[in-house]
A and B are shown apart, each in its own frame.
Chain A
Amino acid sequence: MEIRKPSIKNIPYNEWKDNETLESLINELNENGVNLIVGNLDSLINWGRSNSLWSLTFATSCCGIEFMACGCARYDFARFGFEVTRNSPRQADLIMCAGTITHKMAPVLKRLYDEMATPKYVIAVGGCAISGGPFKKSYHVVKGIDEFLPVDVYIPGCPPRPEAILYGMMQLQRKVKVEKFFGGVNHKEDNPNPLVISDIPKNFINEMKKTAGEVKDFVKKEINDTFK
């Protein structure tokens, strides 16, 4: 079986701006061959996933207002299944980073990202989140969140219009549609540094970091042994 090009209702495939990235992704997946049953299950699950993308409300400045406008009567992103915004990272599929990220905010964003459950996605909204934007020369601004987070979709603008935000969200839908849910997506990130909370004593954290690797190896070995 072959993975097909993702289709979005009412927008012809050729009218999308960036098809190359997606096609290279599809080729990569097809090269390894796709199992018939798993492949069909994948596309079923991805159909559901892509039409109910729940975002974490993470707005630091102007772009957040445009994101709010997206959710309201005129633009109404409920049409695409994006209407559920979550205030807890545990329940969110993606993080919409709308606004400038400063040096003081960067650890907070990183922690929120770490707290999300996989599969998770990051959208960088606006010039500031992409590259620092108009505040590139500042002493306190992160020059693009891709310095410490893997970004899936960039939405340029200062701030982007709601139409642009919708377009970016639909690009993410297409990306979700060509992923292998069984295999890959859930283990995308093999984080060597487990999430730690700084209120606990330092030596305890170091102990945790040391043992975390060992525990991981142990679990892997156990799983391998059982399913041999």
Chain B
Amino acid sequence: MKLNPIEFSFREFASEMTKLKNEKNFDYLVTIIGEDFGTAEGEENKDDYSLGCIYILENTQTHERISTKTMAEKIDGNYYIQSISGLYKCAEMLEREVYDFYGIRFLGNKDMRRLFLRNDFKGYPFRKDFVASEEYSLEDDTEVSTTTEYNLDANGKVVETTHPLFKEGDFVMNIGPQHPSTHGVLRLETILDGETVKKIYPHLGYIHRGIEKMAEEMTYPQTLAMTDRMNYLSAMMNRHALVGVIEEALGVELNDRIKTIRTIMDELQRIDGHLLYLGCYAQDLGALTAFLYCMRDREYVLNVMEETTGGRLIQNYYRIGGLQDDIDPNFQENCKKLIEYLRPKLDEYVNVFGDNVITHQRLEGVGVFTKEQCISYGISGSNGRASQWANDMRKNYPYDVYDKVDWDQVVLDGCDAQDRYYLRVKEIEQSLRIIEQLIDNIPEGEYYIKQKPIIKCPEGQWYYAVEGTSGEFGVYLDSRGDKSPFRMKFRPMALTLVAALDEMLQGTKIADLIAVGAGLDYIIPDIDR
């Protein structure tokens, strides 16, 4: 969608946002986009940045989306914006991200530490004049034990308050950054009381590669290569969102053949991602057999995709204006075989692991998160749907041919880890159903609509989102008419999941942390970007 942000001034921003939430029911904060809008011309302005934030909000009843914008105010050399962490729970983490990249401090946010970068990192990398240094240290990072909160007093002066992270006598345990069941390099600093979890501080950034910053120096076709490497289990969908936003900006109309093939490929990728999820979930709880079963069947899905795209994990298949190449002559036949093979296997997974007595005891009533909490934390996708929140992007904002196919949005009401597992199994069924309906009806036509050799998007701001494997994956594009984007921002699927871990797990046992964490399906390269 093309963004026309409503701009609020620095003073009235928080009150206007409260009004939007309470009166117009915009209860889901999709993402916060920090941006350096470029420096004004002139010698006297050379130390000034025009930093600001764009907020995308959704009304979960009517599915209406709006965007708002506010500019940061410079006070004593630092930049400030009023925090909305009191309105939306996920805002605390998202504002920390903006602080980390742009150095905008949020007034009223209790936790203003760096999120992705090292504590001793100099400068703010996403500002336009940042110069990267090649040097890095092999010494351990300095750990901070306090956070700072900034507030304005009655005279307009900034007041700093420090909050300690730990109390005297707290038992702190580090899980990660290299731990087999954090699914990547996530570090959870956990305060324990015996076996009971009291508090979790997630530390991110161990695989932060600065993809968004790199994209600002690349041409549009070059940026495509990055998305596949974020969440590699939803590579197709990630790329779909990126080509989607560029095509929308360019005004490219796709034909039905491209749309249909993209839909089928997205669903194949979803099956692939969910199968790996089902396997890893079992393995994290100690059931190796179920893991081997799922990985065995995943290879069949990969085979089908590989014959067309040439890649196993990272396919690089979509491009701006269509597809890299036409589908393989055997593609339809292979898909049909796959559907026939996979249908009975789903029962097998549930029999072997999902319906096991031990699994029920481990997962039922664990990690309970209600619908209201999910919306406040912005937990979209399968995890939100397991808590009765019907948030599927494919139904709410249909793209490609999802509105022409007969399928159901799976919504369960268990709100716990067990239902998050079942939901994935049911979603595979739906994906198979979608593919089954489309596979015989791929229309004739071109697989690629020819684009100009140098692609230049017109000026403006766009946001385009698709349904990834574990939530809404969106891409924000700010173009100034150049051949490379002025600002590109990805809405990671799992950042808000990690933000919610603390509230989800307070008071539970440490063994449940593994069970719930595996069930949320967070992929760390996706969070860190």
A residues sitting closer than 8 Å to B (CB atoms) are: 57-62, 64-66, 68-69, 72-74, 87, 99-100, 102-108, 110-112, 134-135, 137-143, 148, 158-159, 161, 198
Contacts and interface: CB of A to CB of B under 8 A. Distances in A.
Nearest to B181: A87
A42 B335 CA distance: 53
B248 to A, nearest CB: 25
B357 interface: no
B215 to A, nearest CB: 11
B292 to A, nearest CB: 6
A89 to B, nearest CB: 9
B138 interface: yes
Please classify how large the interface on chain B is, using the bins under 10, 10 to 19, 20 to 34, 35 or more. Answer: 35 or more
A61 B180 CA distance: 13
Given A73-B296, A108-B178, A137 B214 contact: yes
Interface string B268-312: 000000001000000000000001100110110000000000001
A1 to B, nearest CB: 42
B207 A60 contact: yes
A61 B525 CA distance: 6
Q: Is the interface of B mostly helix, strand, loop or mixed?
A: loop
B185 A60 contact: yes
B184 A60 contact: yes
A66 B306 CA distance: 14
Contacts of A102: 205-209
Interface of B: 116-118, 125, 130, 132-134, 136-141, 177-180, 184-185, 205-211, 213-214, 217, 225-226, 229, 232-233, 276, 291-292, 295-296, 298-299, 312-314, 524-525
Nearest to A62: B232
Given A61-B184, A62-B525, A99 B295 contact: no
Nearest to A85: B180
Contact of A110 (B138, B233, B298, B524): B138
Given A61-B184, A108-B178, A138 B213 contact: yes
B409 to A, nearest CB: 28
Contacts of A73: 292, 295-296, 299
A66 B292 contact: no
A100 B207 contact: yes
Contacts of A158: 314
Contacts of B232: 61-62, 65
B114 to A, nearest CB: 10
B133 to A, nearest CB: 8
B141 A107 contact: yes
B140 A103 contact: no
